[in-house]
Amino acid sequence: MFFSKFSDFIIHYKLIIFFLFLHYSFRKNGRFKICICTIAKCENKYINEFIEYYKKYGVDKIYLYDNNDLNGENFEFLHNENNLNFIEIINYRGKKVRQREIYNRCYFNNNKKYKWIVFIDIDEYIFLKTYSDIHIYLSQQKFKKCDSIYLNWAVHTDNDLLYYDNRTLKKRFPIVNKDKNFCIGKSILKGNIDNITITSVHTLDNNLKICDGFGKIITLNRFYCPVPDYEFNFIDHYQHKSTEEFIEKLNVKGDCVYKNNSTRKYRKIFVYFKDNNITKMKIDFISKKVGLNSTYIKEYLNMKNK
């Protein structure tokens, strides 16, 4: 009798495990899939943290467009068993392209395979307070009417750190600049939409039905932006990191409008100090490493702040 009941228990247990496996397999391999489209240049310090974060959130695939210089960093170290089917690296090395051009190509190539495509950068981390799996979040009935979902940035300060260290971004930069109303954010776009042209890296296409993070239809233009949400659904944006890392970004990465000239650098420095505390130490550090006169930096900041 005992062995009979024990045998029945084992059979039922195996059946439960089998159906759980089928459920998990269907969720991962069925029609409902989610991918990320991202562009990377000089991101080797942060790429592993980014990958592991979105693996835990349940993303099915990352399309990584390598836009490093021809002789710059490379992502060869990502070719390992852990990332074999999770990351696809697309070669855009040495090419001068606008971000939206790559977004259009990524959507055109993949929108039939994925129900949702997330367009974000390596320094952007989606935060969903009540969801540990992005599939569950995006499967909500309220998003069925939405073509895209717009999530605001929560921009993190430099935490007054001058130098890089290898702690996680969350531990290094826990403070969000809540003094600014960050209308800017990024979008999650539904797949299988015909006749779409991505014209903005943020809103993607304003002709679509755009929802906020709670499923409310919104209209994004210069007269309106959603009120930033710093509690439930937003994007942690580690825009500047430490002063040293901001300088590296300033010296290496170009700008589609201001290229890599002094005008661009002054503009970027101004944005940096709008989000972070202004100190003489930071100004002197930036001046020395970037090759700009510290007096001119101070004058530029004063002029812009008037």
pLDDT digits (tens, 9 = 90+) for 34-61: 999 999 999 999 999 999 999 999 999 9
Angle at 225 between CA 224 and CA 231, to 5 degrees: 150
Look-up of token digits 């940096």: 272
The DSSP string of 1-33 is: -HHHHHHHHHHHHHHHHHHHHHHHHHHHHSS--
Residue 24 CA to chain centroid, in angstroms? 26
Q: What is the DSSP letter of 91?
A: E
Q: Looking at this protein, which amino acid is placed at residue 179?
A: D
- Residue keyed to tokens 């959507």: 107
Single-letter amino acid code for the residue at 231:
E
Q: Residue 258: its pLDDT value, please?
A: 41
Question: Is the pLDDT confidence value at 195 over 50?
Answer: yes
How confident is the model over 192-221, as a mean pLDDT?
A: 92
Give the integer Cα–Cα distance in Å for 41 and 49: 15
Model pLDDT for residues 225-265, shown as the tens digit of each residue = 777 888 999 999 999 999 999 999 888 765 544 445 678 88
Judging by beta carbons within 10 Å of its beta carbon (0-12, 13-18, 19+), is residue 67 exposed, middle or buried?
Answer: buried
